[in-house]
Structure 1
Amino acid sequence: MRLPRPSRHPASIRTRLILLVLAVWVPAVAGLALQARSTYVQQERLARDSVRQVADNLNSAIEAELDKRRVLAQALAVTRAVRERDFAKFDEQARQAAAGTRATVILVDRTQQYVYTGLPERRRVQRLPGAPFVTGGPQVFFVPQGPISGRPAIALYVPEASRDPPEFNIGVPFPPDDVQAIVDRQATPAGGVSSVIDREQRVMARSRDPARWLGVTASYTPLRELANRGGSGFLETLTLDGVASLTYVARRNAYGWHAVVALPMATLRRTAERLTLQAVAVSGVLLLIGLVLAMLSARWISQPVLQLKSAAADLGREQVPPVLRSGVGELDDVSAALHAAGVRIQQTERVLEARVAEAVQAAEVAQAKLFEARKHEAIGRLTGGVAHDFNNLLQTISMGLQVVQRTVHEGSHSRALGAALSACGKAADLVRQMLAFGRPHALLPRPVSLEDLLLHSRELTAKAAGERIRLVAQVAPGTPPVLADPTQLELALLNLVFNARDAMPQGGTVAIEATGVAASDTMQPALVRIDVVDEGLGMDAPTLARVFEPYFTTKAPGVGTGLGLPQVQAFAKLSDGDVRIESVVGRGTRVSLFLPAAIDGAAVREPAAAPRPRPDRLLHVLMAEDDVLVGSVVPAALEREGHRVTLCRSADEARALLESGARFDVLFTDVVMPGSLTGLDLVAWCREHLPDLPALVATGYSVDQPDVRVRVVRKPYGVDDLLAALHAAVSGAPTSLPA
């Protein structure tokens, strides 16, 4: 094998380095050209993405702005004022609803405008021929010249909700300036133009010369065709200014409007020219650097490259590479970029970890709250259903006993009937306590004497404590009455006695102590402190920290629910008071309930039993009651007093009877009824069609709240209570019945 002969004129090291630089530089130039092309494509893609993002954001902002008007219009469309054609009331409600905004409200039919809140006073205005009127969903219209203001306006119309087909529209007109303000807030790409067009492709707002183009229809046919189809995408168009542009049409929003963003093609061409010049400049710099580096030693050249390689490896290992100071600007710039990228990666990881942790925690909290809400809702539904049915049973029992009592002479039987009626009253109190616990409601505070309350509830409290518990009560002399709901206060004391009893399985003493607290001790008006003290097992610090959590209990399954102390705390807070707990393991627990004292310590007097007014004439009563037992005793009791009763098993049956022309002196109906109407619906129907027919409503329990003008009697009611309520309903006098 022959070896090649060495050249007679071997190239010098400098020449070889220069050739090497050129050999590297030529591919580098080609690579720069490709990179420039790739960068241009990427820049164009980024520009498209930016234009698309601006258009989508603008579209969403416009839709949200129109949604505000739609919500306002739909809220007014369901008001009673619209249903009853009370234009003055609608004007008042509309002005209140639009207060604090630039929006106005109009109420129109096909020919006239009845309300316009943009005027200081309401007046009717004849509508122009062809004025908008909608019968379906919400629609937005552009009015070049408003009938009153004379200026361009945009109006969102919705039909009234109570009639089909509708006779009235509720409109929310607003100036185009509101839409223009949204466009002005958007970050339109440099040199570009943002526009908003309606379903007729008319310009509603524009980032450039908005006043000139307001209401002008888009001139480019492909754009109009795309908008008519409800599509979206990029088009090469001529803007209204005659500028060749890359235009993006956003997808039609819920009101048929589009956001349009145009970026001049010249801007994209300038980007290509700039990238080409940058590539040429970089290639020249690289050639110059290569020639200079060729004059230096290989080691001086290679060392910074090796350091840069090490920095890149650090970045690959998710470490922050150091900033190099090699003296070669490009390498140092790349090093700084690698260092910054490493810092950003670490920061991003920390932020991502923190956000994931926050999201997990928020999800756990939301799930726990949802679980608690469902448990509370289940308790409320259970107590409400039980209360309704149980009150109907109590109504039947108590009314039957009262009817029998009126026929029995004084003696052993009358005492037994009295005891049975008293038991019915206590059962009704227990139902009210169960309702107060199962569903939150407004308290009825009044001055309550603690001595009288403890004496009245002694038998119930002693039974709650049990045989092994010694119950003592002491009210300090001069202790003022408390201002609280007596039923809730008695329930709170029962819960505290239950807890004290359960804390002493071997028996012991439970003390109830009450005393006044000076105002200076609590920074509040004078309070009354009620302590429930036991000698039980006590609680440690972790348990004490959780005692007010709903459903937290240390008792065995099936023994406790964990709802006693939360009820006490809720009652105290709603009564403008507080509750505190002190406990020592092995030594017992003291629960202190602070409640406001009655003003000036006013003496507590039970209201004197006022004589019950009775009807001064015999009545013909239309009674609507679906409960068979109640319907069997109440009519008999009324007929025994000489009145006539016509019983209907549903509100629908009662309405049909009234529609047939039957005449009655008074309507007496239950709230919860089968069929399409409730008792309250029947009363409302009578108020509209038979306004002279007085009404009385009975309820054992209902989530529907009666109108304040409807007289209500609570089950179980007595014969005298019912007669008094009927008299008050017929005479129009105010009624005061037991709650």
Structure 2
Amino acid sequence: MPDRTPTLTAPRAGSVSGKLRAMVWLIVLPTLLLSVIAGMAVFHTERRAAVAAATETAEALSLVTDRELAVRTALLQALSVSPSLAEGRLAQFHKEAARLVAGSPSTIVLTTQDGRQLLNTRVAWGQPLPPAEAFPGRVDTRRRLMVSNLHVSPVDRRPSFAVRVPVSVAGEAMFLGLGSPVGEMQQIFRQQPLPEGWLGVVLDGQGIVVARTREPERRVGQRASPDMLDALARADRGVVDLRTLDGEPVFTAFSRAPDSGWVVLIGLSQAELAKSAWAAFAMMLALSLVFIVLALVLARRMSRAIAEPLRRLRKDAIRLGGGGTLEEVRSGIDEIDIVQRALAVASRERASSEQRLREEVDAAVAQTRNAQQTVLRSQKLEALGRLTGGIAHDFNNLLQTMTTGLQLARRLSSDPRADSALEACQRATSRAAQLTRQLLAFGRQQVGHETVIDLRRQLPELMALASGAVGSAVEVALAIDETLWPVRTDPVQLELAVLNLALNARDAMQGRGTLTVSARNRVLAEGDPVGLAPELQPGEYVAIAVRDTGDGMTQEQMERAFEPFFTTKPVGQGTGLGLAQVYALARSAGGTAGIVSKIGLGTEVTLWLPRSHGRMEEAASPVPADRAAERRHAGTVLLVEDEPSVRELTAQALEERGFTVKTAPTADHALDQLRAGLAADVVLTDIVMPGARSGVDLVRTLKVLKPTLPVVLASGHPVRIEEAPNVPLVPKPYDIDGLAAVLAEAMNPTRSPADLTPGER
């Protein structure tokens, strides 16, 4: 049979090679056009982005300007409550104001309604005062801040600005002002540096330059260009095309501060902006051309490599169509041979992949089920925690009344039989207080003292105590990383948690076996499988594990182990709050607790505590209880307590110990008494009270009004002491003798017990 294969010479339009070349050109030409369009888009996008960034920067700096002026206004408002100012004792107030601005270039001025100065911290008291020039015209009452425009200080003749607030002096309305040199406003640009090439300007309400990033000494005090003033008269913010005071054409974004009426300008050089945009366009176009050339070269080579094997394939197809026999020959194109072999490999891999997929799906379903069970268990524990915490809080106030009443009754009783009964009642209230603390701990509502702990030092000391508690038949082993990280938590609660775990392990081993305590550094990354604590967030943790060789626990027991009042011990041998306290400690520190156990192989409980980067503190030595009980005290205590029974009994008990006690039911009443002239030596206040202020709010207010008056906080409610740092805290129910010692220490923080006079003991 004659060969009907046509002779192939030059590529025709209908050939594979011709179609490949046409396809390449169809791709290249639109790509080139799109590159030009993209380059132009990049050009305009760069310019719009720069203008948008300048606009956002201007608005942000206008708010920063308001903040700088508001800080000065807030300083004046704080100073305006001075009693010496309200009573007209201006000589005393001059000293107070001078101390406030000592070491700074600012000036505090008191002026009358007509602008006459009565006081100036730059001028000694009693010396003649220059006339006030900061506010020559009317103040814009629409603005929240009363701010002057740029003016020359009458004392040092420097360009300055001022803020003022209205005050009442001996019943007469006046103004208290704070003047500062304009150099103080330059810190806006030092704190918020602008990109290179940007110009930043701050204008006052009349369009006068107050601060500038370029040549501030030369331009401060000049008025903005007429075009800029026209734009400011039309709108409070926008973008205009004009020239700077230096004559440079710029795009200027401006924004007026809402509270002061001052304006911030951000100028972008048109030449620099065009240069950067054209550079971006040129780079985009050059890269596009490079990629197009490479695509053409690669397409030509690919067309040549594909055309010849396709010709041979066409000949084989014609021969097969003509009834010829085909021999197995290599085509010379590895891809064709690889495809033939890959089909069989793919079928085998597909079956294998389906099997692996089924296994992975089963594992994922099991993992999801475990995660759901963990979440449900965590939610159930959280709900129980909130319930028990709320109940315990209410009991704390009741126990405080009972504890204080029993202590008063014992001091007033002369009958030995009554003493015995009262002592029994007091032991019962102490036991109830302990149970309440455990309930609060489970609800993560215990008010405690958290500190940074070095476990390398504390755990060995604690294990020495635990060894004696578990008995000599239990072998105790301790394994700690040499570079163990510190953690931040309540040290007392941590010791109680580890001791609870050690005692539970002893009971599980029936007093005989091996107890292993380990502490390791663990770093959890995103996606790390943590079977013990799947709800932990990625981060650095210290894992404290307590493992025993006891009988182990069932799955149901593990799921309920951290629930309050759940116990596997016989009735009367456990409260069921031990593991609940362990879980609460870990959760309050930002970690969690997990448990793993198998029947016959023992149990391991792990506390996950976040690593702390804080500084470790030294524990203070407590004052002996017997010496505290014998001590007599003196001084006036302002007791702020909303519970009438607690307030009355606590006041009576403190008076029995030598204090003079004044009471107030709320923080607002306490402030009214202090403003009325009550001379208190220390304030004892509850944290959660009705009214506009809490105990923490009272602390903050007294820090301003009476910074030298000590305050002691007391609470049975779950409030973090970090809200009022450096303030002593006495948790309810408190012991009266211990409370008296804390009050005495607050009044005399630098005196030791040995320094007290006989009348104070």
Normalising by the residue count of structure 1, what TM-score does the alignment of the two structures yield? 0.49
Normalising by the residue count of structure 2, what TM-score does the alignment of the two structures yield? 0.48
Higher relative contact order (CA 8 A, sep 6+): 2
